[in-house]
Amino acid sequence: MNAVLFIAFGLLSGALGASLPAKQQTQITNKKFPSSFLWGTATASAQIEGAWNEDGKGESIWDHWLHEDPSRSDDHKNADVACDSYHKWREDIQLLKELGVKLYRFSIAWPRILPTGYLDSYNQAGVDYYVNFVKELLANDITPLVTLYHWDLPQTLQEQGGWLNDSTADRFGEYARIVFQNLGPYVKLWTTVNEPHTTCTEGYGNGEMAPGIKMIGDGIYQCARTQILAHAIGYHIYHDEFAATQGGKVSLVLDATYNMPATDSEDDKTATEWEYEFNLGWFAHPIYIGNWPQIMIDRVAKRSAMEGLSGSRLPAWSDDEIEFVKGTFDFFGLNHYTSTIVSAIDEPAAGEPNFYLDTGVSTTHGDDWVNSTASWLWSYPYGMRGLLNYVWKNYNPGEIYVTENGWSSDPTLNDQTRIDYLQGYLSNMLDAILEDGVNVAGYTTWSFMDNFEWAKGYTQRYGIINVDFDSDNRTRTFKDSAKWYQRTVSTYCLVEQCEE
Ligand code: GBH
């Protein structure tokens, strides 16, 4: 049974009152990827670089948060050294070359460029580091895809409120301008912020990530507003000042699950839309369509009223702001890992303001989806095809880059579960490209190598390359998945032999 039939069967059995069949079989396609397809891998500065205070780098919110209380990460470890990529960058580029990838997504540490976040702290050594890095990538025929903000905010800006303060969006613009000026001659693919959904829910909502703020009813929405403004400011600076001479593209990176209704009841279908709008639409709607999703405006207003508040906890955009934000994209940067099955619930009683009560649905995973070593990450390969189609139809982005997709395992080199995951997801990506006409230009798997997994420390490994965190050398070794990926990116084919 192919994936489409499986989904059709799922909906049908829903109609019959059964829950969605969890069993999924993915027939791996033997078609070839288009020769223009850009294969790559992804990392982020705070997760690989280490050298947290070298050559003038300022403290980031992640440095600060874990130095203050090491028990905030599962293994009580921090990112002071991580993969030591700050020193081992030439070796890393040779590994990328050995893998055969044409695209490398990485991020710039804001506190290396502006250690305090303010212009007067400008650090030439930080700029030089990244200029040398991108030149070396180009010399090895690897295209850089650069993220400006992958969660390492200068701590000094946090002390002014961080993403709860509108002025952080202006500070981001000043930082972005410096990076465009210096790296723009070499970099043509930019993303501003990575997964604002995650940093707002976890950094400012449940407080499980730096800066550890628990404002799940209101700060969470202010964080989103500020990051969207920061993105839009960065986009406009690029297009007003640099695009004509540099000719690059700018977007942002949004993370999303593929969501499906538990049954084909109207209520579950509506709940599925709510789940999309409160997670992906929250950010994609203002940028790709304009304003918050209507259901978000309505539901947060309704629940705020139930709570006896005089106005909505969701900050309203002015008409000028809506216009300023709308259309600030040149492609869609999509991170996709897992899927959900969504059910409607009764309206929760008014209580403490809470984003999840605002969303007002219940989500779960299929009974026999395979779980990774991360509790949230379940394999559902069709989700890649389903989500790419959802994004393509709803946001009309013109072009999509899948900027992250990957699997958490133990450190083993024999990581067949990762190969299974990647093969299934990539097969569905190719179906979306060839069968459904979705324009996916490139793919950067998460991750190039094992690295610092935020509040999970080093307990979860996403790399296709193993890093020995017990050795001073941080020795890198190809896992089976890296060898599999190496073959795939050279043959453009997911199986032993593709049809010619
Ligand atoms: C990405 O987030 C990040 O961009 C990347 O830095 C990270 O290393 C990678 O994924 C792997 O995690 O533990 O139940 O509270 C992916 C989206 C959102 C997934 C937050 C984990 C925590 C769920 N992430 N989520 S839970």
* Pair 106, 189: CB distance under 8 Å: no
Closest CA to ligand 1's atom 23: 376
Q: What atom of ligand 1 comes closest to residue 198's alpha carbon?
A: 18
Cα first-last separation, the chain: 24
User: Which residues does the chain have with pLDDT short of 70?
Assistant: 1-25
Q: d(Cα 433, Cα 441) in Å, to the nearest integer?
A: 9
pLDDT at position 500 is 84
Tokens for 25?
């079989």
d(CA 316, CA 310): 14
DSSP code string of 260-322: EESSS-HHHHHHHHHHHIIIIIHHHIIIIISSS-HHHHHHHHHHHHHTT-SS-SSPPPPHHHH
Whether the Cβ atoms of residue 25 and residue 6 lie closer than 8 Å to each other: yes
**How many whole angstroms from 245 Cα to the centroid of ligand 1?**
36
Mutate to test the pocket of ligand 1, among 283, 446, 448, 462 (most ligand atoms within 8 A of CB): 446
pLDDT at 24: 55
Cα 110 to ligand 1 centre (Å): 20
Mutate to test the pocket of ligand 1, among 83, 195, 461 (most ligand atoms within 8 A of CB): 195
At residue 229, the pLDDT reads: 98
Q: Token digits for 174? A: 């000043």
Using CA atoms, how far apart are residues 189 and 183, in angstroms rounded to an integer? 11
Query: For residue 451, which atom of ligand 1 is closest to its CA?
Result: 8
**Contacts with 385 (C-beta within 8 Å, 6 or more apart), sequence order:** 3, 428, 429, 431, 432, 436
Cα(339) to centroid(ligand 1), Å: 13
Among 147, 199, 376, name the best residue to mutate to test ligand 1's pocket (greatest count of ligand atoms within 8 A of Cβ). Answer: 376
**Ligand 1 nearest-atom number relative to CA 374:** 13
What local confidence, expressed as pLDDT, does residue 3 receive?
37
Atom of ligand 1 nearest to the CA of 201: 20
pLDDT in tens, 182-223: 999 999 999 999 999 999 999 999 999 999 999 999 999 999
The structure tokens listed for 172 are 């981001």
* DSSP result, 436-449: T---EEEEEEE-SS
Distance CA 99, CA 488 (A): 10
What are the backbone dihedrals phi and psi of residue 20, each rounded to the nearest 5 degrees, phi first?
Answer: -60, 135
> Is-contact 203 163, C-beta < 8 A?
yes
Q: Residue 483's closest CA among 414, 424, 428?
A: 414
Alpha carbon nearest to ligand 1 atom 14, residue = 376
* Active-site residue list: 195, 404
Give the position, in ligand 1's atom list, of the atom nearest the Cα of 195: 4
Distance 456 CA to ligand 1 centre (A): 10
User: Residue with the nearest Cα to atom 7 of ligand 1?
Assistant: 453
| Predicted local confidence at residue 25, as pLDDT | 58
The pLDDT of residue 239: 98
The pLDDT of residue 444 is: 99
Say which CATH class 38-491 falls into: alpha beta
- Say how far apart CA 475 and CA 42 lie, in whole Å: 19
On whether the CB atoms of residues 223 and 163 are closer than 8 A, the answer is: yes
Predicted local confidence at residue 10, as pLDDT: 37
Inter-residue contact 369 to 340 (CB < 8 Å): no
- Is the separation of the CB atoms in 168 and 156 below 8 Å? no
**DSSP of 140-155:** TT-EEEEEEESS--BH
Q: Cβ(450)–Cβ(410) under 8 Å?
A: no
Other CB atoms within a 10 A radius of the CB of residue 246 amount to 17
| Minimal-distance CA residue to ligand 1 atom 8 | 453
Residue pair 365/341 in contact (Cβ under 8 Å)? The answer is yes
Distance 8 CA to ligand 1 centre (A): 30
Return the best residue to mutate from 147, 208, 404 for the ligand 1 pocket (most ligand atoms within 8 A of CB): 404
Q: Which atom of ligand 1 is nearest to the CA of 456?
A: 13
Q: Going by CA atoms, what residue is nearest to atom 24 of ligand 1?
A: 198
Ligand 1 centroid – CA 1 distance (Å) = 31
| Ligand 1 binding pocket mutation candidate from 48, 209, 337 (most atoms within 8 A of CB) | 337
Q: How far is the CA of 378 from the centre of ligand 1 (A)?
A: 12
Element (H, E) at 221: helix 219-237
Q: Is 146 left (phi over 0), alpha (psi -120 to 50) or beta?
A: beta
**Separation of CA 32 and ligand 1 centre (Å):** 30
Asked whether 223 and 203 are in contact (CB, 8 A), the reply is: yes
Task: Please name the residues in contact with 137: beta carbons below 8 A apart, sequence gap of 6 or more.
Answer: 93, 96, 104, 143, 144
Q: Cα of 374 to ligand 1 centre, how many Å?
A: 9
The answer to whether residues 296 and 275 touch, using CB atoms and an 8 Å cutoff, is no
pLDDT for res 167: 98
Output the ligand 1 site: residues, CB below 6 A. Answer: 44, 194-195, 198, 202, 255, 335, 337, 375-376, 404, 446, 453, 462
- Reading the block at residue 173, the tokens are 């613009």
Buried b vs exposed e over 348-357: b needs ≥16 C-beta within 10 Å? eeeeebbbeb
3-state SS assignment for residue 249: strand
Cβ proximity of 341 and 262 under 8 Å = yes
Q: How far apart are CA 499 and CA 143, in angstroms?
A: 28
CA distance 9 to 12: 5
